[in-house]
Amino acid sequence: MVDTVVAKALLGRDEKIVRVDLGARSYDIKIGRGLLEGAGAEIAAVMPGARLAVVADETVAGLHLKAFSQSLKAAGLEHTAITVPAGESTKCFREFERLCDEVLAARLERGDAVVALGGGVVGDLTGFVASAVRRGMAFIQVPTTLLAQVDSSVGGKTGINSRHGKNLIGAFHQPALVLADTAILDTLPLRDFRAGYAEVAKYGLLGDADFFAWLETNWQAVFAGGAERDEAVARSCQAKADVVAADELESGRRALLNLGHTFGHALESAVAYETERLVHGEGVSIGMMLAHEFSQRLGLIGEDTVERVHKHLSDVGLPVRVQDIPGQLPPAETLMDIIAQDKKVSRGALTFILTRGIGEAFVEKGVDPALVSDFLKEKLEA
Amino acid sequence: MVDTVVAKALLGRDEKIVRVDLGARSYDIKIGRGLLEGAGAEIAAVMPGARLAVVADETVAGLHLKAFSQSLKAAGLEHTAITVPAGESTKCFREFERLCDEVLAARLERGDAVVALGGGVVGDLTGFVASAVRRGMAFIQVPTTLLAQVDSSVGGKTGINSRHGKNLIGAFHQPALVLADTAILDTLPLRDFRAGYAEVAKYGLLGDADFFAWLETNWQAVFAGGAERDEAVARSCQAKADVVAADELESGRRALLNLGHTFGHALESAVAYETERLVHGEGVSIGMMLAHEFSQRLGLIGEDTVERVHKHLSDVGLPVRVQDIPGQLPPAETLMDIIAQDKKVSRGALTFILTRGIGEAFVEKGVDPALVSDFLKEKLEA
């Protein structure tokens, strides 16, 4: 794995490159401290002469748009900036329509590009816009959260939310380039960094026991922002890239990436996506604990494995029990309804990601809903 | 070409099959009189046990939904019917959102399918919905107009209109099956049949002189609805399928299919898509004449070729001059603005489909806008 993560010196910076291998849709993820400064040159190298529409939420625009814009100007790239409100509710039909209109109003042509400067919300929404305008414009991601750098910027999933659930409307649309400036994460609130870290830990838990052990040793350095942070982001991107390359359209193995997500999404939905109570990564953290406890219940793993996962997620400050979510939760029946309507359902049988040990997750398509329901009832009453 | 169009007897009916060869996304177009009756069995053969959402406009629903529904029931296929208003204005963000919501409300899962029973409007809108719900549901087309049977049901282009132009928002999403019942066309108003015929003639003009000559001889039988109609639909689908297979995402040769469309779209836009004045196929007919006249102007073809095209399109009753459009048209400058914003533009240079003779169209990417502008001025004043 590590041999495909190439370290190189660029303009005096250390930069790691993860190649996402998807044939004609292959692209590079570049990772390093201070990449934003040279972003214009990187983009111009991939798309010389392109005109850009840059989408950012108001928070990120205030922090980083000026520097990004200057970098584009320095590279001679014409661009229009479009801002959207911060927050999950921006992933809606109305903003989708507005952004499509604004990209067209900027008279971008097919060889031009739409850029997402932001976290998962802006990346998912903007990617869907890029997929749809003129039936597919080039798309560039400049992820500004840890979650976006290790998860949503890899693999081409884009989308918006529907009244029926999260991410139910969208497209697979691969970016042409991803620039992950790990120094930007210094401006991230600790809670958001932790939430993104849940996805980093997930890559260890689902398929790489060595990486999980490495994180147990090095997580403080990852939080502090040294070379370990770049290493953690690169190994996470590589892990996801490997899975995505093997299964671009999520027909099989890619489902492993949903470790912790079926429970996690149900909890997010149960609190009506109120981020004061629960953000996505926190839902994933609790969801991963539930996936391990449910695997233990089925006799797949022992108490010691569950304890080890519990300890690491707790150490970094992530929530690990449904009771860690402030306020009242709905009953197990409601959570089951949400799970049944979740997109990881096939012909009525429940699909869960279970595990046989650290780094040994697998897809189980025939899970009995009654077992899950009983398990959730106990957990909610615990 | 004809060897890949297989005639076979099914339930006593003559049926032609055109295979659209796109690797894992390959699919069949089945063409024949009375196919609707056996549609349920055909769909069940491709997607056993699938649940369906069937989208139709109010006009088509009144004429054909009952028969289609009975055929689905007879094959044991559960389905929900969703109707939309008839007309181009249905291809909008609001209906896109509503249909996505309704498909989700029907609790369709990934292995289920969305069906378009209708003309190009319903096919384009429904296809985009199918592409977006759960990032891609299976899609089945049952085209009920000649235009939809020979054009929009082949090739996977889906989309809606934006305030900036037609079809500017959408996706490439291939159907799993297309069922073209040519008897349904008996219920089509003559004006709509003629408009669809413009696209049939286009396939001859762009790349198959023999087919154009065959149409000159047989067009009356095609209109009357005999075996010649099935033959014309099948050859048209095969012609489009050949081009699409060679260039699925329209990076090169597929642009040939736009013969007559750059001018045609500009005229449709100029009359604000008022179908009382001009429908798409009529715009294409006038647009094809303009493309031939412009090719003559550039010295590519002679007067006799222009005359031959003019005669055939006039014979079938299609409009051939901008003056055939009732009411006032905007000046050439406005048409040029529309053409410049049209999606067949690359980095400011105009792309046109020109021709060196019947069946010898080609893509010319470097057309001087001033030449087009002068040509249009003359035509508008003629």
Inside any domain, residue B239: no
Q: Specify whether B208 is located in the same domain as B177.
A: no
Which of residues B68 and B366 earns the better pLDDT score?
Answer: B68
- For this structure, is A194 an active site residue? no
Report for A164-173, A270-279, B15-24, B302-311: range of highest mean pLDDT: B302-311
Q: Specify whether A93 is located in the same domain as A14.
A: yes
Please list the alpha-helical segments (H only) found in chain B. 39-46, 58-60, 66-74, 93-105, 120-132, 146-147, 190-207, 209-224, 227-246, 261-270, 280-297, 303-315, 332-341, 369-381
Residues of chain A with pLDDT below 50 are 1-12, 343
The helices-and-strands tally (H runs, E runs) of chain A is: 14, 13
Inside any domain, residue B247: no
Contacting residues of A for B165, CB less than 8 Å apart: 104
Q: Specify whether B120 is located in the same domain as B207.
A: no
Task: Please tell me the predicted confidence (pLDDT) of residue A348.
Answer: 63
Contacting residues of A for B169, CB less than 8 Å apart: 100, 132-133
Q: What is the pLDDT of residues A205-228, one digit of tens each?
A: 999 999 999 999 999 999 999 899
| Chain A residues touching chain B at CB-CB below 8 Å | 49, 93, 96-97, 100-101, 104-105, 107, 109-111, 128, 131-136, 157, 159, 162-165, 167-172, 249, 341, 343, 345-347
Confidence band for B346, pLDDT divided at 50, 70 and 90: low
Tell me which of B91, B194, B240, B312 is the catalytic residue. Answer: B240
Contacting residues of B for A172, CB less than 8 Å apart: 135-136
Q: What does each C-alpha distance from B186 to A363, B33, B36, B150, B180 come to in angstroms?
A: 51, 10, 13, 16, 13
Inside any domain, residue A277: yes
The domain that holds A213 is classified in CATH as 1.20.1090.10
Please say if the pLDDT value at position B11 is more than 80: no
How many cross-chain Cβ pairs, A to B, lie less than 8 Å apart? 85
Residue A295 CA neighbour count, 13 Å, CB half: 31
- For this structure, is B157 an active site residue? yes
Confidence band for B154, pLDDT divided at 50, 70 and 90: confident
- For this structure, is B97 an active site residue? no
Tell me the binding residues of B. Answer: 120-124, 144-145, 157, 166, 199, 261, 280
CB atoms A133 and B168 under 8 Å: yes
Confidence band for B109, pLDDT divided at 50, 70 and 90: confident
Inside any domain, residue B187: no
Q: Specify whether A157 is located in the same domain as A274.
A: no
Identify the residue among A169, A247, A342, A346 best suited for mutation to test binding to B, counting B beta carbons within 10 A and taking the highest: A169
The residue segments making up the domain with residue B48 are 2-182
Q: Specify whether B154 is located in the same domain as B214.
A: no
Inside any domain, residue A238: no
The least confident of B5-9, B49-53, B322-326 is: B5-9
Alpha-carbon distance A246 to nearest alpha carbon in chain B (angstroms): 15
The domain that holds B40 is classified in CATH as 3.40.50.1970
Strands B349-355 and A138-143: unpaired
How many structural domains does chain A have?
2
Inside any domain, residue B254: no
Inside any domain, residue A86: yes
Alpha-carbon distance A229 to nearest alpha carbon in chain B (angstroms): 32
Q: Which of B298, B280, B72, B249 is nearest to A137 (CA)?
A: B249
Alpha-carbon distance A325 to nearest alpha carbon in chain B (angstroms): 28
Task: Please tell me the predicted confidence (pLDDT) of residue B338.
Answer: 87
Task: Please tell me the predicted confidence (pLDDT) of residue B110.
Answer: 79
